[in-house]
Structure 1
Amino acid sequence: MINQTQYPEFGVLLVDDEASFLRSLSITLERSGGITHIHRCNDSREVMGILECEHIGLVLLDLTMPHLSGQQLLELITEQHPDISVIIISGLNQIESAVKCLQQGAFDYFVKTSEEGRLIEGIKRAIRMQEMRRENLALGQRILNNSLESPHVFEPIISRSHQMRAVFQYLESVAPSNQPLLICGESGTGKELLAKAAHQLSKRSGPLVSVNVAGLDDNIFADTLFGHQRGAFTGAERSRAGLIEEAAGGTLFLDEIGDLSMASQVKLLRLLQEGEYYPLGSDRPKRIRARVIVATHQELQQRQADGSFRRDLYYRLCTHKIHIPPLRQRKDDLPLLLDHFLTQAAAEIGKPVPGYPPELPLLLSNYHFPGNIRELRALIFDAVTQHRSHLLSMEVFRQVIGQNIETKESTRGQPSESLATFNPEGPLPTLAQMDNLLVEEALKRADNNQSLAARLLGISQPALSKRLKKSRPGE
C-alpha cells in the first residue's frame, strides 16, 4: 500500500542509465522539493513495464540511453499512456532536440546543468498540472454519476441540500491533493467540519492540527507555527516544535485566515511558495510535511481591494476553494437539523426527546439565521433546557425569531432593505392589489398557516381573517 504521506499522491519515475545521477536527482527532489514518491529506473527496457504496474503520473526522462533512447520512450509513453506527463532532463543542450520533444508531447525540457531551483519549480509545475487534471476527471465523474465514494465521512454534516452535495463531491476530488484548500463561508456554517472531512478523505497518516489565527500578532504567529530553538528569545529555556512539525504527515488547519496581520501573511506566503520555514532562532530550514487548509468568514476579495490582504497570498491559497452556502439558502436542511439537535440536546441534558408543534419548522423557515447552524443549535438547546411538558414550547423561538420577522411599530413606515420593484413602463398597482399580493405571499411562506402569516405581516390573526374574507368573499 502506498504511504499516503508521500508527495505527490502519484509516483514520479526517474529514468537514466547513470545510477549516480538517479541517486543525486532523488536527493535533490526530496531535500529541495519535498518530492518523496519516487521510483528509479536505469534500464530503459523496463520503463513500460513499470508504467503498467505502478501508479505513475510523471516521468523524468533522459534522452541518450542504450537499448531504448529517450526519444523512443517518449513516443511510446505519449501513445500508450497519454495521461502521464513527461519531462526531458538531458545532457544535450540542443534547441532542435528540445523543440522536437515538445512537439512529441513532452511537458518540458531541461538540461542537466540547469539551475536547481528552476528545475525543481518546473517539476512542481508539472505535478500541479497533473493533480488538477486528475481532480477534474474525478470531479466530473462524481457529478455525472451524482455519487459520493465516502458518504460516511460526511455524516457529521447534517444536510440533504443539493448545494452541499456538490461541495462534498468537490471535496472528495481535491482531498488527496497536496495544494492548499480555502474554505469560505459565514460564521456558523461548519467550516471546521469540512476541514475535518477533507483530512479524513486524504487518508494522511499524520494528525489534523487546528489553530485559530485571529488576533495572533506576528511574533506569536511565527512561534506557534514554526516553533523555536532554545535561547531564541527571553524565556525560551528549551526548544519547542511548532504546529507545522506537529502536523507532519497530516493536515494543518488555519482558521480565520482573513484576520491575519500583513507581516504574518508574508511569512505564510513564503511557507507555501518555498515549502520550508525557519524555527525562531535557527538558521537551518525545515520542510513542511503537512497539507495546509485555511478558512475564513471574511470576503477576501474585498480585503484585497482595501489593501488588508495580499493578492499573491490569496491566489496561492485558492488553488482549491470551497464556499459553504449559509443556512438561509439551505432551508431544506432545517427539518433534519431540528431533529438532530433535539436528539443531541435531550441526550446531553438527560431528558426525553420532545415533540414540537407543527408550525415550528414554518417559523424557522421564515427566519434568515445570521448565526447560521450555530445559532439554530443554540436556540434548540435553550428551548430543550427550558421545556417542561411533552411538547416543546415555541416561546424561546418566538422571542428570538419573532422579533426579527414581525413588523415593529417603531419601524413601520420605514423603507425595507429590499424594496419591491415595478416595471416603469407598466401601470402602478393599486393599494388594494398590493394588499392582496402581500397577504398571498405571507400565506405562501407560512404554508397557509394563518397564525404565522399574520405574524409575518405584523398584524393580528383576526385582522388577517378579516382581510381574507374581503379578498375571498366566496370562500
Structure 2
Amino acid sequence: MSSNLYPSFGILLVDDEASFLRSFSLMLESQAGINHLYQCQDSRDVMQTIAREPIGLVLLDLTMPHLSGEALLRQIVEQHPEIGVIVVSGLNQLETAVHCMRLGAHDYFIKTTEESRLLDGIQRAIRMQEMRLENLEMRRRFLSDTLDRPEIFADIVTQDKGMRSVFQYLEVISASSQPVLISGESGTGKEAIARAIHALSGRSGPMVSVNVAGLDDGIFADTLFGHKRGAFTGADKARAGMIDQASGGTLLLDEIGDLSLASQIKLLRLLQEGEYYPLGSDRPKRIHARVLVATHHNLERKQRDGSFRKDLYYRLCTHQVELPPLRQRQGDLPLLLDYFLAEAAEELGRNKPTVPKELPTLLRHYTFPGNIRELRALCFDALSRHQGGVLSMEVFRRVIGRDTATTDPTAESDAPLFAADRPLPSLQEVADLLVAEAMKRAQGNQSLASRLLGISQPALSKRLKKSQSS
C-alpha cells in the first residue's frame, strides 16, 4: 500500500449507487487530496469491511436496500464508537438530520449540497479524528515511556528527558497531514528534527528545504509555486516550484518568522485550500507534500505585534515542537563533546584526543548562544590546534571568558538582589557566599572556580583556608 495515503486512516464510502461512489471518490481525491478510500455498494458488507480495514470515518447514505443507513448508523455507533460517521443523503429533511445526529452521526449533508461545504465538513471530521488518535497515542507513549522507532533519532546525540519527550511527540504526529511548527534558538537542530519527521512519516517523496528569509514576495511565489513559460520577462521555459519537487514528500520552510506579510497570505491560502497557482497559470494545482516550518523567532509574540498574521499562526500551530537550548541540556555535554571530537578527528585525519575531565564542568557555565552548532565548531577548532596528548582547553576558555566579560548581570531579571526589609549582608559575607557558590558550580575544582570568580587560584585558595580557619 502506498505510504502517501491521506488520511492515515481509511474512509469508507457507503452507497448503493455505483456511479455516485465513483464520482464521490474522484471529487474527494481531486478536490481535497483524500485518497485513502474504501467503497461499499452493499450495505450488508459494511460491518465486515470495518472489521477488516483500518476505517476511521464512514460517509453513509441513508436510503439503501437490504440494510438501511439508519440501521447501519446504530450498529457503527454501538460497536465502533471510535469511528466517525457523516451522513451524505438525498433526503433534505430537517427531522431526519436531527434524528441522525441524535443517534451519533458527526454531521449530515445533502448530496446536492455544494462541493465546498461538503468537503469542508469532511476535512473537519478528518482533523478531529486525527487529533483523537494522536491524543490516544500520546497518552500510551508517555505512560510507557517508549519509542517505537529509536533508529530514526540515532543521529541526534542526546540522553536528555526533554528531547526524549520531543521524540515521542514526533512519533505520534508523524502520520498527520497537518503542518508542524518547529521552533528553537539558532543551532538547536531544527532541520535534524524536520528530517526525523520526514523519515517517520514514511513518505515516498523527497524532503525539500527552502530558506525563505529575505525572499521578496515575487521570488517567494516563484520559488514555491514555479512558473509557466512566458509568465514574466526572462521566463523562457516553464519551471517546477519546490512544492512540485517535494511531491509525495515533505516541504520544509525554514526561517518562516522572516516571511513578508504579502508572502504570508500566499502561504495561508496554500495551507487552507491545499492548492496553488504557478505564476502565469490560471489552473490550480494541488499540493501533495506535507509542510513543516521552522523559526528561531517567537511567533506568538510576532503575531501580537502585527508582524506575523494571526490566522497563519493559528494554522501553523496545530503541531508544535519547541527545542530546548543546549544550556538546558547540560547532561548532554559529555556525549556531544565525545561525538564532535570523534567526527573532527575522522574528518581531519587525526587521532581522537583525551578530553580533560574538567572540560564538561567548564562548559556548563557557558550560555552557548550558538547552541549545538557552536559546540561543534569549538570542537573542530580545538582539534585543529591540538598538538597531542590531552586536549587543550584554551579554545574553550577563551570563548567562555569572552562570554563572562560581556554578560550583563541585570539582563536576566529586574528583581532586587536584596530584600528591602532585610539588613544588607557585610562584604565579607557576600564574598564567602560567592566563593561557596563558585566551588559548588565547579564541583570542587579550584582552578575552574577561580576563573568563574575572576581571581587567581592562589587568591581563591587563600580565601578558602581563611574561611575554614574562622
Q: TM-score, normalised by structure 2?
A: 0.97
Indicate whether 1:447 and 2:438 are aligned.
no
Alignment partners' CA distance in 2, 1:219 and 1:417: 41
2: CA distance between counterparts of 1:195 and 1:326? 17
Q: Paired residue for 1:149?
A: 148
In the other structure, the counterpart of 1:363 is 362
Do 1:406 and 1:455's aligned partners in 2 also have CA atoms closer than 8 Å?
no
Matched, 1:9 2:5: no
Tell me the distance in 1 between the aligned counterparts of 2:325 and 2:412: 19
Instruction: Tell me by how many angstroms 1:430 deviates.
Output: 2.9
The aligned residue for residue 204 of structure 1 is 203
State the 1:34 CA deviation. Answer: 1.1
Quick one: distance in 2 between partners of 1:335 and 1:184? 25
CA contact (8 A) 1:406 1:456 kept: no
Find the counterpart in structure 2 of residue 421 from structure 1: 417
TM-align CA RMSD? 1.5
Deviation string, structure 1 residues 99-157 (Cα, Å, up to 9, x no partner): 12111111111111111101000000000011111111111111000000000100111
63-72 or 178-187, larger mean C-alpha shift:
63-72
Q: Could you tell me which runs of 5 or more consecutive residues in structure 1 were left unpaired when the two chains were aligned.
A: none
Answer whether contact 1:14 1:59 (CA < 8 A) is retained: yes
Deviation digits for residues 413-445 of structure 1, max 9, x if unmatched? x85654663444444433322222211111111
Residue in structure 2 matched with residue 133 of structure 1 by the alignment: 132
SS at match of 1:148: coil
The question of whether the paired residues in 2 share the 8 Å contact of 1:439 and 1:457 is answered with yes
Separation in 2 of the partners of 1:292 and 1:148?
24
Which residues of structure 2 form unaligned runs of 5+? Answer: none
Q: Within 1, Cα distance between the matches of 2:176 and 2:70?
A: 31
Q: Does residue 91 of structure 2 align to residue 92 of structure 1?
A: yes
2:298: which partner in 1? Answer: 299
Query: CA separation of 1:162/1:415 partners in 2, compared to 1, >3 Å: closer, same or farther?
Result: closer
For 2:267 and 2:47, the matched residues in 1 are separated by: 41
Q: How many residues align?
A: 469
**Alignment deviations for residues 334-353 of structure 1 (CA, whole Å, 9 cap, x no partner):** 01000000000000000000
Q: What CA deviation, in whole Å up to 9, does each residue of 1:136-180 have, x standing for no partner?
A: 111111100000000010011111101000000000000111000
**Once the two structures are superposed, what CA deviation does each residue of 1:28-66 show, in whole Å capped at 9, x if it has no partner?**
111111111111111100000000110111100011111
Q: Output one character per residue of 1:352-377: Cα deviation in whole Å (capped at 9) or x when no partner.
A: 00012211111111101011000100
Q: Is 1:456 the equivalent of 2:455?
A: no
Match of 1:436, as an amino acid?
D
| Counterpart contact for 1:341–1:380, Cα < 8 Å | yes
**What secondary structure is seen at the aligned counterpart in 1 of 2:469?**
coil
Mean Cα displacement is larger for which, 194-203 or 19-28? 19-28
Q: Distance in 2 between matches of 1:204 and 1:226?
A: 21
Listed as ranges, the matches of 1:18-417 within 5 Å are 18-405=17-404, 417=412
Q: Give the whole-Å Cα distance in 2 for the aligned partners of 1:131 and 1:331.
A: 35
Once the 2 structures are TM-superposed, how far is the Cα of residue 398 of structure 1 from its aligned partner?
Answer: 1.1
CA-to-partner distance for each residue in 1:200-251, whole Å, 9 max, x for gaps?
Answer: 0000011101111111111111111101111111111111111101111100
The alignment partner of 2:39 has SS state of: strand
The code of the aligned residue for 2:258 comes to D
Conserved? CA contact 1:184–1:322, under 8 Å = yes
CA distances 1:309-331 after superposition (whole Å, capped 9, x unpaired)? 10100111111000000001111
Check the 8 A contact 1:187/1:372 in 2, yes or no.
yes
Deviation at 1:406, TM superposition (A): 5.5
Over the matched positions of the two proteins, sequence identity in percent amounts to: 65
How far off is 1:467 after superposition? Answer: 1.4
SS at match of 2:57: strand
Q: Aligned partners of 1:65 and 1:424: how far apart in 2?
A: 81
Counterpart CA distance in 2 for 1:230 and 1:115 is 34
Counterparts of 1:282 and 1:40, CA distance in 2: 35
Distance 1:111 1:273 in 2: 24
Note closer, same or farther for the CA distance 1:407–1:125 as it changes in structure 2 (3 Å cut): closer
- What amino acid is the match of 1:440? A
